[in-house]
């Protein structure tokens, strides 16, 4: 079969998903099911993948998604609880004291606070939409802010797992220790962020109010993006712990935004009149988030994280097709989100009727996001396992031309040759959309990026720059990742029409960001970064 035909077959499941969501306004989880079936069939019929391997990949991907899918389930429970008891309304009033205009609120929550909580492992598409709607944003703006701000710091989200996991897995292939690989990878990623985080901030303003909002908020938008980007570079250079880089960057961004808003109002002579704030009531409303932040911060301390992994329950790992799934339940942020969610029932003390409403809403709305995240992971692993067979005591590749991920990378390398550096970031977009997360993309496509860059004659140093671009692109892809959009939409009870609208709007933003990434990648490679 011609390579071009194989390439189109690999892309077919993703194209079907996008057409279904955008053209036919179908729900993302429905299209995820359809996409999985198509991918499964293509892998078996055209890529020398046995029914057993394809089934094993589906199961493997489902369980590997738990780090995100279960985190979303518990985050949605927490947010529905806070909404029902009025905690979100109280927090909304407090935020309006700090950020007065819609533009200020979008940047403070979406970029500053969003970077902070995302870096702790909390999924903002599950957390923010109800809060933003309580503050007066429409459904479209609430979802847009939540998914755009999800990854302003790109790879430093989720306790920097998109950086640390590849470092653990692949450092020896480049003759580095995991620590050396991690800091080198983090530094190259950080070099992109002053520009990328700033463009994301500006894009958020454009989405909520076009040129008018962009004009009103351009200065704080640039400030917030630069603070995240420049602070990330400085923190990497001074060897701050990689896991908390995004946390610190988010805190600094909020501090700078608050200072700017205060000084700007003072300069303009604007005095805001507010009723006295009940601090005890506000503390109680914030208590679930404060508890979550404390628990996630403690669990992220390396020595504690190692200890938590050591006391994991008996089902520490499963082996499927010789591939190991490490659960490490106590070390996962989703466990602590669950602890915070259930503890918050005690902290917020909902009535019996409120509890029934919370659990009813939760049980109805969690399935769409859970299915979408799980099945996109399954699709990603079917592609990764395609062309493999069981041999000895390992999963072995029959031939590279039967691996779906390899086909994507090698075709792009053949078409563009040395110009591949201009399209390398697109693999990061592709991998994150299919896999549902940047982490999955970084792991699944490391080998492909390595092989293609060697094929076009790049050095290891230049490869790391290309791989960093791939990682940043995976973060940018959050804006159009179907599983994240359906997650945000589900928290406010909207349907496929809104998912389609958000996806259409964000495609242009992601396209522009990818072009910028491509230009920066080519520049960095050419000057030796």
Asked whether residue 298 carries a pLDDT value surpassing 80, the answer given is: yes
Region 181-191: mean pLDDT is 95
Distance CA 453, CA 463 (A): 6
Nearby residues of 293 by Cβ (< 8 Å), 6 or more positions away: 117, 120
Paired sense of beta strands 388-391 and 323-326, if any = unpaired
Asked whether residue 313 carries a pLDDT value surpassing 80, the answer given is: no
| 343 pLDDT tier (thresholds 50, 70, 90) | very high
Place of tokens 């077919």: 12
Quick one: residue 160, left, alpha or beta (phi over 0 = left, psi -120 to 50 = alpha)? left
Residue 89 burial (CB count, 10 A): 15
Asked whether residue 147 carries a pLDDT value surpassing 70, the answer given is: yes
pLDDT digits (tens, 9 = 90+) for 425-473: 998 898 888 766 788 788 778 888 988 898 899 999 999 999 999 999 9
Distance CA 128, CA 134 (A): 10
pLDDT digits (tens, 9 = 90+) for 40-73: 999 999 999 999 999 999 999 898 888 778 888 8
Place of tokens 């902290």: 347
pLDDT at 485: 87
Contact 15/419 with Cβ under 8 angstroms? no
Q: What share of the chain is helix, strand, coil (3-state, %, to 5)?
A: 80, 5, 15
pLDDT at 514: 94
Distance CA 381, CA 394 (A): 16
Asked whether residue 274 carries a pLDDT value surpassing 70, the answer given is: no
Residue 357 burial (CB count, 10 A): 16
Region 179-194: mean pLDDT is 95
Contact 228/253 with Cβ under 8 angstroms? yes
- The residues with which 395 forms a beta bridge, in sequence order, are 390
Place of tokens 């985190």: 71
pLDDT at 232: 96
The helix/strand/coil state of 74 is: helix
Distance CA 433, CA 13 (A): 11
Region 255-261: mean pLDDT is 94
Distance CA 213, CA 219 (A): 11
The better pLDDT of the pair 290, 332 is held by 290
Q: What is the DSSP letter of 160?
A: G
Distance CA 181, CA 170 (A): 8
Query: What residue segments make up the domains of the chain, in order of their start?
Result: 3-527
Nearest Cα to Cα of residue 471 among 166, 231, 235: 166
Token digits of residue 14 = 């993703």
Region 178-203: mean pLDDT is 95
Q: What is the DSSP letter of 276?
A: P
The helix/strand/coil state of 185 is: helix
pLDDT at 213: 94
Burial class for 90, CB neighbours closer than 10 Å (0-12, 13-18, 19+): buried
Task: Give the Å distances, CA to CA, from 288 to 18, 90, 188, 291, 344.
Answer: 36, 13, 35, 5, 5
pLDDT at 255: 95
Mean pLDDT across the chain: 88
Q: Phi then psi for 319, rounded to 5 degrees?
A: -120, 125
Place of tokens 């996008």: 18
Contact 124/118 with Cβ under 8 angstroms? yes
Burial class for 76, CB neighbours closer than 10 Å (0-12, 13-18, 19+): buried
Asked whether residue 172 carries a pLDDT value surpassing 90, the answer given is: no
Percent of the chain at pLDDT > 90 equals 45
Region 261-278: mean pLDDT is 80
């Amino acid at each position: 079969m011609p390579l071009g035909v194989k390439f189109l077959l690999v892309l077919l499941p993703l194209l079907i998903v996008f057409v279904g969501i955008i053209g036919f306004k179908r729900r993302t989880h429905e299209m995820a099911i359809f996409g999985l079936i198509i991918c499964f069939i293509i892998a078996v019929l055209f890529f020398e993948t046995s029914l057993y391997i394809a089934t094993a990949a589906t199961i493997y991907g489902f369980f590997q998604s738990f780090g995100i899918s279960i985190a979303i389930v518990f985050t949605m429970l927490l947010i529905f609880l806070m909404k029902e008891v009025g905690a979100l309304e109280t927090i909304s009033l407090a935020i309006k004291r700090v950020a007065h205009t819609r533009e200020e609120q979008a940047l403070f929550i979406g970029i500053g606070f969003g970077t902070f909580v995302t870096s702790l492992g909390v999924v903002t598409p599950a957390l923010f939409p109800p809060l933003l709607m309580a503050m007066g944003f429409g459904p479209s703006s609430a979802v847009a802010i939540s998914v755009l701000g999800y990854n302003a710091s790109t790879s430093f989200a989720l306790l920097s797992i998109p950086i640390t996991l590849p470092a653990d897995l692949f450092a020896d292939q480049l003759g580095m220790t995991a620590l050396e690989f991690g800091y080198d990878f983090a530094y190259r990623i950080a070099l992109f962020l002053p520009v990328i985080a700033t463009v994301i901030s500006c894009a958020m303003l454009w989405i909520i109010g076009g040129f008018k909002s962009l004009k009103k908020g351009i200065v704080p938008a640039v400030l917030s993006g630069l603070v995240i980007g420049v602070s990330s570079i400085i923190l990497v250079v001074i060897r701050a712990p990689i896991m908390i880089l995004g946390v610190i960057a988010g805190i600094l961004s909020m501090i700078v935004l608050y200072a700017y808003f205060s000084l700007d109002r003072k300069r303009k002579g604007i005095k805001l009149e507010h009723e006295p704030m009940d601090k005890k009531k506000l503390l109680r409303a914030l208590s679930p988030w404060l508890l979550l932040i404390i628990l996630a911060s403690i669990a992220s301390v390396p020595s504690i994280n190692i200890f938590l992994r050591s006391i994991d329950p008996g089902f520490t790992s499963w082996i499927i097709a010789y591939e190991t799934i490490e659960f490490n339940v106590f070390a996962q942020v989703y466990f602590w989100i669950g602890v915070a969610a259930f503890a918050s029932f005690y902290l917020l003390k909902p009535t019996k009727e409120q509890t029934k409403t919370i659990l009813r809403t939760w049980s109805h709305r969690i399935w769409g996001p859970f299915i979408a995240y799980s099945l996109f992971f399954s699709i990603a692993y079917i592609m990764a396992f395609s062309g493999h067979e069981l041999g000895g005591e390992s999963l072995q590749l029959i031939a590279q031309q039967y691996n779906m991920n390899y086909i994507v990378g090698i075709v792009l390398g053949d078409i563009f040759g040395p110009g591949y550096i201009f399209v390398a970031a697109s693999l990061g977009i592709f991998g994150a959309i299919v896999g549902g997360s940047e982490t999955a993309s970084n792991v699944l496509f490391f080998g492909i990026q390595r092989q293609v860059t060697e094929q076009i004659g790049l050095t290891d140093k230049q490869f790391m720059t290309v791989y960093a671009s791939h990682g940043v692109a995976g973060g940018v892809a959050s804006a159009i990742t179907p599983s994240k959009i359906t997650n945000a939409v589900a928290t406010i009870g909207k349907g496929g029409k809104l998912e389609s609208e958000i996806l259409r709007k964000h495609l242009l933003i992601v396209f522009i960001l990818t072009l910028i990434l491509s230009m920066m990648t080519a520049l960095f490679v050419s000057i030796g970064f």
